[in-house]
Amino acid sequence: MKGPEVAKQGRRQMQGRRQMQGFTLLELIVVISILGMITSLATEYYLVSSNQQRHETTVQRVAEIRMAVLGDTRHTLNGEAMLSGFVVDVGRLPATLQELLQPGHCDVADQTLLYFTQQSCGDKGYSWTDLRDDGWQGPYLQATGYELFSDALGSEHEQPVFRDGWGTANAESAEDFHNSGWLFQRVSLNDQGTSDRADDQWVTAQYGNNIQLQSLGLDGLPGTLSAAGTAEQAYEKEYPALTSTTMPLITEASFLGGGIQLVIQNQLGVGAALCVSWEGQATGSLALTGDQALPSLAYYSALPEQSPVAPVQGFINFSAVFDSDGDCSTDDASDYEGHILFLPSPSMAVHPAVPGNRLFIALSSNGQVSLP
């Protein structure tokens, strides 16, 4: 092979080797950086989109819970909402979210004790309630899943749950069973003693005729900070937002019929003979004297007859007097006075057991008066 040809072949081999050398280190760093940025953007977009979807699912499930209790209130007849759902079938608000899923439960004062069968409940000396005896026609919600819960005997049972869009569970197993990770509680309006009703606050009450409901959001914790201590993003927050003055998801004005219900609790430590009267949008009176006197720590609850009600919004003023001579005469000084805002119901088809607006009087040494 001649010299010029050898030189030419050498140049071709060197060019081939340069072509097979690939990327330089700097080029690789640039490419990896770009890929990392694309991945980061895609991940952030996915998380935001996913969080938004979970939030929207939660919003929809809040609406489903309200409909389970009241029915679809968009249905009207002659301009009045037609109710259905749990409150019409059973005649009261559900005590827990679980009552919207299944009718049977064990009546245990300690809510941390769970018994899932009638037999285990009875064996421990407790009574079993089947809400179908009261007209329950559910389930009023379609369970989002079935999960295992341990009863007080250590046995596991599969039970229906209705989770929010985040699948939030309560760390306390019994509470998680009762309410599927939601904040679900009955509340009453507590009068703050001012003329501005906006100052009144909602407080938990076993027999409250209003329901507060809230999903605790992405971290499953109350408050506006995430578990990491950073501010929660819009779609990560609790829903709906709640304060002590926020209107509950379901208020008694949504379902109560006309009329009033009187509830008196004696917290005095001694029996009390009482004369109670009310006037305003509803008028009436009641004597709890003699054999009808209210024992210590007892409740009196009734739907007073002969209590005409004006069909418009307004106030009911009431007074409770300790009766000194058994005749409810006017010489007895008034000991408890108060007022409630009367909200006539716009609804129809209310169960006969559903009470009217509630007059709640708590007899205590400081003259406390609680409102519905």
What whole-number distance in Å separates Cα of residue 343 and Cα of residue 313? 5
How do beta strands 336-342 and 314-322 pair? antiparallel
Residues 6+ apart with CB under 8 A from 112: 172, 174
Q: Are 186 and 210 in contact (CB under 8 A)?
A: yes
Residues 6+ apart with CB under 8 A from 368: 267, 362
Q: What is the pLDDT along the chain (372 residues), one digit of tens a residue?
A: 555 565 556 555 555 555 555 667 777 787 788 878 877 666 655 555 678 888 899 999 999 999 999 888 777 665 556 678 898 888 788 999 999 999 999 999 898 999 999 999 999 999 999 999 988 999 999 999 999 999 999 999 999 999 999 999 999 999 999 999 999 999 887 754 444 445 557 888 877 878 999 999 888 877 655 555 555 577 788 898 887 778 888 887 677 655 666 778 777 778 888 888 888 777 888 888 877 788 877 777 666 654 666 656 677 787 888 776 667 765 555 677 777 766 655 444 444 445 556 677 777 765 555 444
pLDDT score recorded for residue 79: 56
DSSP 134: G
Alpha helices in 132-215, H assignment, sequence order: 173-179
pLDDT score recorded for residue 77: 60
pLDDT score recorded for residue 73: 73
What whole-number distance in Å separates Cα of residue 293 and Cα of residue 275? 10
Q: Where are the CATH 2.60.40 domain residues in the chain?
A: 256-363
Identify the H or E element spanning 337: strand 336-342
What whole-number distance in Å separates Cα of residue 288 and Cα of residue 274? 5
What's the CATH code, domain 256-363? 2.60.40
Tokens of 37: 């940025």
357-363: strand order across its sheet: 299-302, 260-266, 357-363
pLDDT score recorded for residue 33: 81
